[in-house]
Structure formats: C-alpha cells, structure tokens
Structure 1
Amino acid sequence: MVFVSKKKQKLLDIGFKRGETSGIRWIKNKYGKDTSASTRYERLERSAFNARIHTSDNILTFRDVDGSETPVKPLRPRVNRASYVDRFRLPASWKVHPDLRTNNIYVPALLQTMMSTENRKHRLRNSKCRGDLVIDGAASIKWGFGWKERLKCTRCLYVGKHYKLFNEVTTKGKGRRSAQINIGFQIGVASTSIGNTSSRRIMNASNIIAPTPRAMQKQGNKVCAALKCMNDNSMAAVRKNLVDENAQIGQKTPLWSTLKGTRVTTTQFSTLTRHRFKPEP
C-alpha cells in the first residue's frame, strides 16, 4: 500500500485527460500523515513523568521495566492531581488550608445552621464514625466579602453541601444576587474619604481576604448610581415640602438660586463626595 497525500492524489486525478487511464488507478492508497504506527505519545502527571523519564544526552526517553527503551514518546507532563484519599486524610496542624487561617466574615446564625444540619446528616449516615467535621478550605467559594462553605469528615468520606454564610439582597430578577455586606461596604466607602484601594490595604493588613479590585469597582458603580438617584429624589422632596410649607403659612416661595449652594444632608444618606448639588470650589 503506497502512501499518497490527498493533495497529491487530487493532482494525479486531474493530470489526465478524459478517456485516459491513470497509472496508479488500481493502486490502493492510504491517506493520512506519514507517521510510524509503532510510535505512541503519552502525557503523564508530573510525578510519574519524573519517576519514569530517563535523560541521556539531553534526550527524554521512556524506559521499560527491564531497562530497555520503548517506542513511546513522552509529551509535556500534566499537573499533579490530588488523589481521592489525600483529600480526606486526617489534617495535621501543618496541613491546614491557608484560607482557614485568615479572618473570614460569616453570619453566626447561618454558620450554626450549617454545623447543626451537617452534624445530624453525618450521624445518620455513619453513626459509628468518630471523625470531626471541618471546613473544606479547598472548596470554599468567595462572593465578595461573603463565603460559601461546606463541611467534610476527617475520617470517613462524608462531604456536605455548600451553604451560603451571608445574607442576600431580595430582588425580582434572575441570576446570582448580591450580598448585603458587599452593598453595605460600598455605601460606607461612598460616605467616607477613602476608596477601594485604601480599603483593600486595611483588610489585607488585618488578614482578611479582600475582594478583587474589579469586583469592588463593579459593585461600587452600581451603588453610586443608586445613591445618585436617591439623592435626586430626596432633593426634589425637600423642595416640594418647602413650597407646600410656604403656601400654608402665607409666605412667598424663595428663588431656586438659594438652593444651588446647599449640600445634600438628608436623613436617608449623607455623602462627602462631589455630586451635582455640591457647589464647585
């Protein structure tokens, strides 16, 4: 069987006029790449790669059990994967996940609900197990300042479901809902003279995992837009009430120019940043 590429076969087919016979018409062709059938390529994990690869003259080759070379060619090694047993091994003091040594923010009521529920499920599943339920730090899900955690047993293979340890904002739309702590934090940042960068430095110095700058900026844009709308409505209500009160006591309505230099200080929100009602310096 003669190897002929598809491109060459097409040129041979169109190289003869109609009525003439090609010289290789009755020869069976094999299409594909001209590679040796005995050569195989394997991609192992890094630990297996380092254990089985033999380096000689800067050439990486596999060695068989008896030490002879094999036709298998090594590829770039993969990342080591944690075995199923290692994930549920009894954690030692030096093997605790690094995130579990930080100061996280949880809602105590939701945390105790998770602990009591998972303890009950663990006893019902395996009443003879004497293991402890610990937080699976490798499976923690971060949502701004909020966290979703799950528990796992240190002896048996019990793994609980994820619980939201933060309160969400009630909305009518679909999709993931914002955490109340994230919105409240952005409201506090807008009412002070510091920004997201300074806030992240304070949290990192306090050993608190801060949200990413992009997430904080995205949440801050939404909160500031809502605050601006609320300030507009508040100022409109103040002006309307002033007109109504002046009409009741028989006084004239003052000129609107007297309100241009005022600063928004309402019972709803007090901002220190520049906005449309704050006079220019």
Structure 2
Amino acid sequence: MDEWEVIARARERFPVRGGSRVIGIGDDAAVVGERLLSTELFVEGVHFDRGWMNWDTIGRRCTEIVLSDIAAMGGTVDGLLVGFSGTLGSDEINLLLDGISSAEVPVLGGDTVGGGGECGVVLAMTVLGNAKRPVLRKGAQAGDVVYVSGALGGVLAGQKLLERGRRDSPLVERFLAPRARLDLASFWGRSASAMIDISDGLSSELWHIAGDSRVRIEIESVRIPIFEGVETVFENPIEAALSSGEELELLATAPVPLLEGKEIGCVKEGEGVFLDGTLLRRSGFTHRW
C-alpha cells in the first residue's frame, strides 16, 4: 500500500461536512473559511539524516517544507505548532529550535516527548495560514498555461552528491536549504487556476493537477528549467527534474502570465499528462507500507 491509497481511504472515511467554506483532505492544506491548516510529520532516517546535516539545518529544512503547503494554496503564514519526540541532548534541542526560529515564523505552541524509539527523532509541525482566495488543485481549465517558479533537479542532485561523500557544491546547499516560495505565493494566488508545490516531484504534481482538474496537461521537455550543475550528476537532467522532490517550487496553471513564472506547457481538454507527446510516467518519492 502506498500513501495515495491511504489518502484515498481517508478521504472516503472522513467526508467534509461544512459547505463550500470547508475543504478537507486532498489539497496541500485544509481550508476553513479563509483559514489554512496543514500538518507534516518528519521521521529520522526517512526525511532527514543527522549524518548529513546539523540540527539547526534539520529544523529550518522541515519548517520550510511545511510552510510550502501554505505557499501552494496562495496563502500567507500566521504561525506554527511544533512537536518532537526522541532522544536529544540540550545542545541539540537548542540547535533544532534555532533552525526553526531562523524561518522567522511565530511558534504558537506544540508538545514534546522525551525518550527514544526505533524510529529515532520524530518532528511534527502544523502550520496556520490564511488566504482570501485559496488556490486548489482542481481548477485548471483548457487553454491555461502551465508554469513553474524556478529551476528543478538540484535537490535530487545534491542528495546524490551527499551519498557520494561530496559537500563542496551548490547542489548540496540546494538539497540542505530549500526555501518555500512564500515570496511569490500571494501574487500567483491572484491569477492561478490551480496550484501545488513540488514536494514529491514535478511529474507527480502534474498528475495531481491533471487528475483533480480532469484535464490533459502537455509539457515540453526543452522548457523545463534545470538547476545549474544537474547535468554533471545525472546523464538525463530532465528525468532528474521530473522526479526530484522537496524542491518547494510552485507549479501552477493560469490563463495569464505569472510573476517570474517559467512556462513549461499547456492545459487541454482530455486526461493524462504528456511529455513531448508521450504519456508521462509518474515518478518521485512515495511512502509505502
């Protein structure tokens, strides 16, 4: 069973009752009126490796990932709830808190549990935000243009270099320090018809928008912006860009140009996602049980 099957079961089990002002499972954040809420769970050995990064880096990186859920909805951030469990020393806790604090988002509460377990340290974050016009994944229309907010593939390339013992590359910094695109979120949110952040990989996110919007998306490989240096790590930089997760760039469809947006394709009537005319295989990271 993979995470998408679990999410599908949860959507069926927990239908939303609250009218059009309440939107539940299925987007990057839940919507209650103008309030946005999202939770992320980070598990040592799955989402981070203390052999690759210090605790302040871990704290900031995890914070940016959860903030990106609000950016994906075209929102602004109000605050965080933070919880963590596991065995950490006093200095390590201070570094973790320093990293979270460096994102300059108020921490409004949370919980802590001492002691260890087989899964190591677990960090849970809930972000609270708001948007007058939340942008969902299901609004893409035929005739829209597909945009991304920045170059892709650098996160996966940086991870690959760390696995090889390399740290002297901007690609490694790209892996260690992705940033949520809150600088563009509200601007894109005014015009985008559908939007999502690239957390599992471009191909996966394209399929989410196409499926939820019930449209066909056509992408041109020559238009996909590639992070500088990815071609030195992978023979096929396009494949790296399609599957690289935790990029935190925005992916959106819109009937008008988006600020700093890179046009990579278009939306048509139909179904599926196509790259250079060929059906695109969904790639990227997926949790499995």
Q: TM-score range by the shorter chain?
A: under 0.3
Q: Taking structure 1 as the reference length, what is the TM-score of the superposition?
A: 0.18
The structure where helix makes up a greater share of residues is 1
Structure of greater Rg:
1
More contact order relative to length (CA 8 Å, sep ≥ 6):
2
